[in-house]
């Protein structure tokens, strides 16, 4: 969905094409970075997605998610953003839910995280999406400070609930 009169903002040169859409060839590095992120978040045992599952989700017949890759000056992937569309009944339009944002430690501070979020904000503007949302662990102060520096606001009045594993099976059976 595109709003009339809106055009895509001119792309800033973050450092010669730092951000691009992921391709099927990126699946191994995306999978590796998902596992690195899970380890950082102290939940590696919960990261069970396989490269095949990621390929199907991103590039299968009916993609469920999308991904952008951040590259360093040598063209090597150093970060990624994996996201999907959500929908706001209050706003009546889609938004983007950012499932994962990760920049490898050696590339942090180089503008890759900001460039990834900027690209997702552009996706929102281009398509008329009115929200860009994500979750952050309450102990992850570096990320919280970074998000606040961009103008992101915490939604402290909401508590996330999740059903998985045995509880999900029990309820769904």
- Of all residues in the chain, what percent carry a pLDDT higher than 70? 90
What pTM does this model have? 0.87
Pairs from 108-114 (Cβ < 8 Å, separation ≥ 24):
110/15, 110/72, 110/78, 111/14, 111/15, 111/18, 112/18, 112/70, 112/72, 112/78, 112/79, 113/70, 113/79, 113/146, 114/146, 114/150
Q: Is the pLDDT of residue 4 over 70?
A: no
pLDDT given for residue 12 in this prediction? 40
With a CB cutoff of 8 Å and minimum separation 6, the contacts of 76 are: none
Rounded Cα distance, 46 and 66, in Å: 21
Read off the pLDDT of residues 81-120 as tens digits, 9 standing for 90 and up.
999 999 999 999 999 999 999 999 999 999 999 999 999 9
- For the question of residue 147 being annotated catalytic, the response is yes
Rounded Cα distance, 70 and 21, in Å: 9
CATH architecture of the domain with range 19-172: 3-Layer(aba) Sandwich (3.40)
List the domain boundaries for the chain. 19-172
Catalytic residue of the set 14, 97, 147, 161: 147
Q: How many CB atoms lie within 10 A of CB 135?
A: 11
């Amino acid at each position: 969905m595109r709003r009339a009169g809106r055009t895509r903002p001119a792309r800033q040169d973050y450092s010669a094409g730092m951000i691009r859409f992921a391709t099927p060839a990126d699946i191994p590095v995306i999978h590796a970075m998902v596992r690195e992120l899970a380890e950082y978040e102290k939940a590696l045992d919960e990261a069970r997605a396989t490269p095949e599952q990621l390929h199907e989700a991103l590039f299968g017949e009916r993609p469920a998610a999308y991904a952008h890759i951040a590259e360093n000056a040598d063209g090597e992937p150093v970060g990624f953003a994996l996201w999907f569309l959500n929908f706001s009944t209050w706003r009546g339009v889609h938004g983007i839910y950012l499932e994962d944002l990760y920049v490898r430690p050696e590339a942090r501070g180089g503008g890759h995280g900001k460039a990834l979020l900027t690209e997702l904000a552009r996706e929102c503007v281009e398509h008329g999406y009115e929200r860009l949302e994500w979750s952050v662990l309450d102990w992850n102060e570096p990320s919280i400070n970074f998000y606040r520096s961009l103008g992101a606001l915490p939604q402290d009045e909401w508590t996330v609930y999740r059903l998985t594993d045995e509880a999900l099976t029990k309820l769904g059976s």
